């Protein structure tokens, strides 16, 4: 076969191949440097026609200066007879003047004497392939950047960048599995899309985040859009007869007010999203100085926490808050609560530093330290009070560690403490994950009790109470706060008590601060109460002095 068969005559096989793919399939008669390119490539790069003679010169004029060496070296290798395979990536300028990355793969046929003959292969347009996120079908983060840069070049447009993140998305992955999580992302992206006005476009960013670009817009419009999204995701959703609950947080930065390059604007939108999440999620924040300060503070605190951990947990301390019998007001046990201070910021609230420990993974060593301290303290106090119960908070990250349960078992054994004196507290949204039922059974299997913490604030499904293998339910203090005014809260508590007692689960009410509040709840048949009325969290020695001596 000669070059005419391949290049100049109509070749149905070539036509069929070209139609079957987005890639550019090319053929070349090497000795004469004549190429046949598909029409799609001619269009994209404004080539003079499908058949190009002197192709090296025509094509190389479109290749990026920085990539030319690579490109020619690959050709030289073939000419020198070093290889028959061509495999190179480079940038070329398309008809819009944009640089697109191309990956070129080819194979050269030689005759029996080793002389080059036909050369054929595939060019993949990475620039185009990389635009789309396959899971959601949305444009991806690369395109997000390209579009923002386009707007920034056109200086008379303003634009707002809104980054949305699903709250506690990992719970959904835990609750079912990754495929289900992927579906949730897909459905969520579709729902958000239907709520957007025509000047907005949506992109899939990394993980559970979406980016929205709003051209010629203002903060009011962003607030308006967010309000719609928030109300859409306020309720439990159902997919494939599985129920899930997932709110959405947002962070927004404004061009040109907050910055004038992509990196700055995107970073500030991300900081604002983070800020929304640490302020209780399910909310929108606009970038401002305060957010920047908060971010710098978090970064500094992370370094100081790391230092504390490395210095043998210096500046960490456990405080203990009493839990009393709801009827007799007698001491039953305590909850261990972590405290941390530093020279720069004084005492920092656990609400602020625990998420930072979780983010950085430092919660693993710190969590072990907490558990050991709490077990040792409990052991000491049993001498004074043989029925004492010690509650310890666990973070979901600790349980993801494979050996955490056997670790707890070992610590109890080393300290010669019966496991029945320990209760581990896990938050409600975490316990609701059915996939974890097995983990809880294993915890209970070594004799430790499990408490469902902050009940009523998260995944508020009463079904959880029937299926979750908890020994104790702790009703969040939000329900006590308004109990004097709200009959709903009082009814809610009574209802939970009845439901739990039905399945032999005990109830602890958190946050009782006044006698008035206690009077409201004392006949509700609660088991335990934990609140300032009966004692604030205290250092170990003070607790011992106050309750046990």
Q: Which is nearer to ligand C2E, 176 or 316 (CB)?
A: 316
Nearest approach in angstroms of CB 232 to ligand C2E is 29
Q: Which is nearer to Ca ion, 222 or 452 (CB)?
A: 452
In this structure, what are the phi and psi dihedrals at residue 176, rounded to the nearest 5 degrees? -120, -100
Torsion angle in degrees (nearest 10) through CA of 77, 79, 81, 87:
40
- The b-or-e profile of 512-540 (16+ CB within 10 A means b, else e) is beeeebbebbeeeebbbbbbebbbebbeb
Q: Which is nearer to Ca ion, 334 or 393 (CB)?
A: 393
123 contacts: CB under 8 Å, gap ≥ 6: 23, 24, 26, 41, 102, 103, 104, 105
Q: Check residue 425 for interaction with Ca ion (CB under 5 A).
A: yes
Give CA–CA dist 126/142, Å, rounded.
11
How many residues touch Ca ion under the rule CB under 5 A: the total is 4
CA angle 16, 21, 25 (to 5 degrees): 75
Q: Check residue 454 for interaction with Ca ion (CB under 5 A).
A: yes
| Structure-token pair, residue 374 | 């709490």
Q: Which is nearer to Ca ion, 137 or 539 (CB)?
A: 539
Give CA–CA dist 374/364, Å, rounded.
15
Nearest approach in angstroms of CB 372 to ligand C2E is 12
Strand partners, 317: 339
Strand partners, 335: 321, 391
Q: Which is nearer to ligand C2E, 148 or 426 (CB)?
A: 426
Nearest residue relative to Ca ion (C-beta): 425
| Structure-token pair, residue 332 | 């039953």
Q: Check residue 209 for interaction with Ca ion (CB under 5 A).
A: no
CA angle 276, 279, 238 (to 5 degrees): 70
Q: Check residue 428 for interaction with Ca ion (CB under 5 A).
A: no
The listed partner (ligand C2E, Ca ion, none) that binds 370, CB under 5 to 8 Å by sort, is: ligand C2E
- The b-or-e profile of 164-201 (16+ CB within 10 A means b, else e) is bbbbbbbbbbbbbeeebbebbbbebbeebbebbeeebb
In this structure, what are the phi and psi dihedrals at residue 336, rounded to the nearest 5 degrees? -85, 125
Nearest approach in angstroms of CB 393 to ligand C2E is 4
Q: Which is nearer to Ca ion, 200 or 424 (CB)?
A: 424
Nearest approach in angstroms of CB 392 to ligand C2E is 7
The listed partner (ligand C2E, Ca ion, none) that binds 513, CB under 5 to 8 Å by sort, is: ligand C2E
Q: Which is nearer to ligand C2E, 222 or 521 (CB)?
A: 521
Nearest approach in angstroms of CB 270 to Ca ion is 29
3-class secondary-structure state, position 93: strand
The listed partner (Ca ion, ligand C2E, none) that binds 511, CB under 5 to 8 Å by sort, is: ligand C2E
Q: Which is nearer to ligand C2E, 106 or 511 (CB)?
A: 511
Nearest approach in angstroms of CB 455 to ligand C2E is 10
Nearest approach in angstroms of CB 526 to ligand C2E is 14
* Whether 473 contacts 493, CB under 8 Å: no
Give CA–CA dist 340/302, Å, rounded.
12
Nearest approach in angstroms of CB 503 to ligand C2E is 23
Say if strands 346-348 and 237-239 run parallel, antiparallel, or are unpaired: unpaired
The listed partner (ligand C2E, Ca ion, none) that binds 349, CB under 5 to 8 Å by sort, is: ligand C2E
Q: Check residue 174 for interaction with Ca ion (CB under 5 A).
A: no
Nearest approach in angstroms of CB 318 to ligand C2E is 7
Question: For the packed helices 350-360 and 289-310, what is the interaxial angle rounded to 10 degrees?
Answer: 70
Q: Which is nearer to ligand C2E, 125 or 391 (CB)?
A: 391
Stretch that binds Ca ion, among 91-99, 361-369, 448-456, 458-466 (CB under 5 A): 448-456
Contacts with Ca ion in 362-401 (CB under 5 A)? 393
The listed partner (Ca ion, ligand C2E, none) that binds 395, CB under 5 to 8 Å by sort, is: ligand C2E
Q: Check residue 274 for interaction with Ca ion (CB under 5 A).
A: no
385 contacts: CB under 8 Å, gap ≥ 6: 331, 548
Q: Which is nearer to Ca ion, 256 or 539 (CB)?
A: 539
Q: Check residue 208 for interaction with Ca ion (CB under 5 A).
A: no
Q: Which is nearer to Ca ion, 336 or 412 (CB)?
A: 336
Q: Check residue 433 for interaction with Ca ion (CB under 5 A).
A: no
* Whether 339 contacts 366, CB under 8 Å: no
Nearest approach in angstroms of CB 302 to ligand C2E is 16
Give CA–CA dist 137/456, Å, rounded.
36
Of 142, 43, 59, 44, which Cα lies nearest the Cα of 106? Answer: 59
Q: Show the 3-state SS of 481-541.
A: HCCCCCHHHHHHHHHHHHHHHHCCCEEEEECCCCHHHHHHHCCCCCCEEECCCCCCCEEHH
Nearest approach in angstroms of CB 521 to Ca ion is 16
Q: Which residues of the shown chain bind ligand C2E in the complex (CB under 6 A)?
A: 321, 336-338, 349-351, 354, 370, 393-395, 425, 453-454, 477, 510-513, 530-532, 537
Nearest approach in angstroms of CB 64 to ligand C2E is 52
Q: Which is nearer to ligand C2E, 47 or 450 (CB)?
A: 450
Q: Which residues bind Ca ion (CB under 5 A)?
A: 393, 425, 453-454
């Amino acid at each position: 076969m000669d070059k005419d068969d391949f290049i100049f005559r109509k070749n149905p096989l070539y036509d069929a191949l070209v139609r079957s793919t987005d890639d550019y399939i090319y053929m070349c008669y090497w000795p004469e440097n004549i190429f046949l390119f598909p029409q799609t490539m001619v269009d994209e790069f404004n080539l003079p026609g499908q058949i190009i003679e002197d192709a090296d010169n025509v094509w190389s004029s479109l290749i990026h200066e920085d990539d030319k060496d690579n490109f020619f070296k690959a050709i030289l290798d073939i000419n020198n007879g070093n290889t028959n395979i061509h495999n190179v990536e480079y940038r070329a300028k398309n008809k819009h003047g944009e640089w697109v990355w191309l990956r070129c793969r080819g194979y050269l046929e030689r005759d029996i004497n080793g002389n080059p003959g036909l050369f054929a292969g595939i060019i993949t347009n990475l620039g185009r392939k990389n635009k789309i996120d396959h899971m959601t079908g949305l444009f991806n983060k690369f395109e997000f950047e390209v579009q923002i840069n386009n707007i920034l070049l056109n200086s008379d447009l303003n634009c707002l960048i809104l980054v949305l993140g699903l709250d506690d998305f990992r719970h959904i992955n835990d609750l079912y599995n990754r495929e289900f999580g992927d579906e949730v992302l897909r459905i969520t992206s579709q729902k958000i899309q239907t709520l957007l006005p025509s000047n907005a476009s949506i992109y899939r960013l990394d993980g559970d985040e979406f980016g929205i670009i709003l051209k010629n817009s203002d903060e009011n419009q962003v607030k308006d859009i967010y309000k719609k999204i928030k109300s859409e995701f306020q309720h439990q959703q159902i997919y494939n007869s599985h129920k899930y609950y997932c709110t959405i947080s947002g962070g927004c930065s404004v061009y040109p007010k907050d910055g004038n390059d992509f990196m700055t604007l995107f970073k500030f939108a991300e900081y604002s999203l983070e800020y929304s999440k640490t302020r209780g999620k399910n909310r929108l924040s606009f970038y401002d100085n305060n957010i920047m300060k908060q971010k710098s503070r978090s970064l500094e605190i992370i370094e100081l926490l790391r230092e504390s951990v490395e210095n043998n947990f210096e500046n960490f301390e456990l405080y203990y808050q009493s839990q009393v019998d709801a009827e007799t007001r007698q001491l039953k046990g305590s909850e261990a609560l972590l405290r941390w201070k530093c020279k720069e910021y004084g005492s920092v609230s656990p609400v602020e530093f625990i998420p930072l420990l979780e983010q950085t993974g430092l919660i693993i060593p710190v969590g072990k330290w907490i558990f050991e301290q709490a077990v040792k303290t409990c052991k000491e106090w049993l001498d004074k009070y043989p029925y004492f119960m010690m509650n310890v908070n666990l973070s979901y990250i600790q349980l993801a560690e494979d050996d955490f349960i056997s670790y707890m078992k070992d610590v109890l054994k080393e300290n010669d403490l019966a496991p029945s004196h320990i209760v581990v507290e896990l938050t409600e949204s975490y316990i609701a994950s059915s996939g974890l039922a097995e983990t809880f059974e294993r915890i209970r299997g070594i004799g430790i009790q499990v408490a469902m913490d902050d009940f009523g604030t998260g995944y508020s499904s009463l079904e959880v109470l029937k299926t979750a293998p908890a020994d104790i339910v702790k009703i969040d203090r939000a329900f006590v706060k308004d109990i004097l005014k709200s009959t709903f809260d009082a009814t809610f508590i009574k209802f939970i008590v009845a439901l739990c007692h039905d399945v032999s689960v005990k109830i602890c009410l958190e946050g009782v601060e006044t006698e008035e509040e206690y009077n409201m709840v004392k006949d509700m048949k609660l088991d335990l109460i934990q609140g300032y009325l009966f004692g604030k969290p205290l250092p170990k020695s003070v607790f011992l002095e106050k309750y046990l001596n």
